[in-house]
């Protein structure tokens, strides 16, 4: 099997799995319990919080454990909107956000908030000037993803942050789910108030994530209950998940130190080979793109057909994002990039991990060419 769908999810590290099993079996106490067994679990949770904070260069009290990226994005956006609705009801985001952000914005619109969806250029980037033009007196929040999950475009977070320094009352949320461990980003230095991530995108386990909340930033909790996570996220903490997530993040950052360059070479090889094939158009931009995502379309062939044909050869890629892959409509991101709907309907996403190799990329390209020839013969 060759797995090239790492933006959907990644294979958990053995070390992360081992940590989860060990903590689940030997330290299963409730961290809120007063007895010593609960105290052991609470200590492990605190250690995981400190380790993740150190890896992200933030403070431990700025780390809040969640169930993943969707929850983190909802907590940040709705929580900030509800907390500040008396100051204003205008929010700025982009037209190519992940569904967990985009759909949240649509829900807030139903509740009386006004949302500005910034357009993107043909490379999938928002304009910072455009963003500033849309700031109003009642703007309370800007939410922009770091790395687009479908095409890999890197948004100008640093430039947006510099612009927002002139508007200190506007909160800044960054969806960091696809960028973490692949595209470095300094959280404090870029005046980010909320930053969400999900462990299963960096070889941790599903159902675990983190929302960074800058010290001093306030939001309204979405859950009522036992007031865990300093009253921001009620619910018994997933101690084993948090411990294994800390380990997965540390291992990913270690691999990042030497893994970016080989990953870029694999991505470049794939791009070069794809561009040699008639009828293929690569959508991922050359500049301002993450090293692990490559999106392209095949003229005249539905993406589902191509993906299932590749699957028969033991190769796994995807269409758009996993969260939107079962929708019948063309990719919202590609349409926003002015890609014709017919091409957007035929898009394929390859997404890499640090464990993928040049040899795998060569094998995938060979299989893709064979598959394409077979499908075109059938269609003709």
DSSP letters, 334-373, are HHHTT--HHHHTTEEEEE--TT--HHHHHHHHHHHHHHHH
List Cα–Cα distances, 326 to 89, 164, 198, 353, in angstroms: 33, 37, 21, 23
Name the DSSP letter for residue 13. P
CA nearest to 211, candidates 233, 237, 185, 239: 233
pLDDT at 308: 95
CA 80/CA 75 separation, integer angstroms: 8
CA 82/CA 71 separation, integer angstroms: 16
Tens-level pLDDT at each residue, the chain (380 residues): 999 999 999 999 999 999 999 999 999 999 999 999 999 999 999 999 999 999 999 999 999 999 999 999 999 999 999 999 999 999 999 999 999 999 999 999 999 999 999 999 999 999 999 999 999 999 999 999 999 999 999 999 999 999 999 999 999 999 999 999 999 999 999 999 999 999 999 999 999 999 999 999 999 999 999 999 999 999 999 999 999 999 999 999 999 999 999 999 999 999 999 999 999 999 999 999 999 999 999 998 989 999 999 999 999 999 865 555 556 678 999 999 999 998 998 999 999 999 999 999 999 999 999 999 999 888 76
pLDDT at 101: 98
Name the DSSP letter for residue 331. P
SS3 139: strand
CA 14/CA 268 separation, integer angstroms: 29
Its pTM stands at 0.96
CA 126/CA 160 separation, integer angstroms: 10
CA 136/CA 116 separation, integer angstroms: 11
Residue among 17, 55, 323, 375 flagged as catalytic: 323
CA 32/CA 230 separation, integer angstroms: 12
Active-site residue flag, 360 = no
E strand segments, the chain:
2-3, 63-66, 90-94, 114-118, 139-145, 171-175, 194-198, 209-213, 280-282, 293-298, 315-316, 347-351
| H or E, element range at 247 | helix 239-275
List Cα–Cα distances, 5 to 184, 282, 293, 314, 373, in angstroms: 21, 17, 9, 12, 23
CA 379/CA 33 separation, integer angstroms: 64
* Helical packing angle, 36-56 and 239-275, nearest 10°: 30
CA 196/CA 75 separation, integer angstroms: 9
* Helical packing angle, 14-26 and 239-275, nearest 10°: 160
Pick left, alpha or beta for residue 144 (phi over 0 → left; psi -120 to 50 → alpha; otherwise beta). Answer: beta
């Amino acid at each position: 099997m060759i797995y090239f769908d790492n933006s959907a999810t990644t294979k958990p590290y053995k070390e992360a799995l081992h940590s989860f099993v060990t903590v689940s079996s030997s330290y299963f106490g409730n961290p809120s319990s007063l007895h010593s067994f609960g105290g052991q679990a609470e200590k492990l949770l605190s250690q995981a919080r400190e380790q993740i904070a150190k890896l992200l260069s933030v403070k431990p009290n700025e780390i809040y454990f969640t169930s993943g990226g969707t929850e983190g994005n909802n907590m940040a956006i709705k929580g900030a909107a509800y907390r500040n609705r008396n100051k204003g009801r205008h929010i700025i985001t982009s037209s190519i956000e992940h569904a967990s952000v985009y759909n949240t914005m649509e829900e807030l619109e139903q509740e009386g908030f006004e949302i500005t969806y910034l357009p993107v250029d043909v490379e999938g980037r928002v304009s910072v000037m455009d963003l500033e033009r849309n700031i109003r007196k009642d703007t309370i929040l800007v939410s922009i993803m770091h790395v687009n999950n479908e095409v890999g475009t890197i948004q100008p977070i640093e430039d947006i942050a510099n612009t927002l320094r002139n508007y200190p009352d506007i909160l800044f949320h960054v969806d960091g789910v696809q960028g973490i461990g692949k595209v470095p980003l300094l959280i404090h230095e870029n005046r980010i108030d909320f930053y969400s991530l999900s462990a299963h995108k960096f070889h941790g386990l599903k159902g675990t994530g983190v929302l960074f909340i800058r010290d001093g930033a306030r939001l309204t909790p979405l859950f009522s209950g036992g007031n865990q996570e300093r009253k921001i996220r009620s619910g018994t903490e997933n101690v084993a998940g948090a411990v294994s997530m800390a380990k997965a993040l540390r291992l990913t950052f270690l691999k990042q130190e030497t893994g970016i360059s080989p990953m870029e070479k694999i991505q470049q090889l794939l791009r070069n080979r794809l561009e040699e094939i008639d009828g293929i158009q690569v959508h991922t931009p050359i500049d301002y793109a993450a090293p692990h995502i490559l999106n392209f379309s095949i003229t005249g062939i539905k993406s589902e057909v191509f993906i299932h044909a590749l699957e028969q050869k033991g190769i796994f890629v995807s269409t758009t994002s996993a969260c939107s892959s079962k929708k019948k409509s063309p990719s919202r991101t590609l349409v926003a990039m002015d890609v014709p709907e017919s091409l957007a309907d035929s898009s394929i996403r390859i997404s890499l991990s640090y464990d993928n190799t040049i040899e795998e990329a060569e094998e995938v390209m060979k299989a893709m060419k064979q598959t394409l020839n077979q499908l075109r013969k059938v269609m003709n």
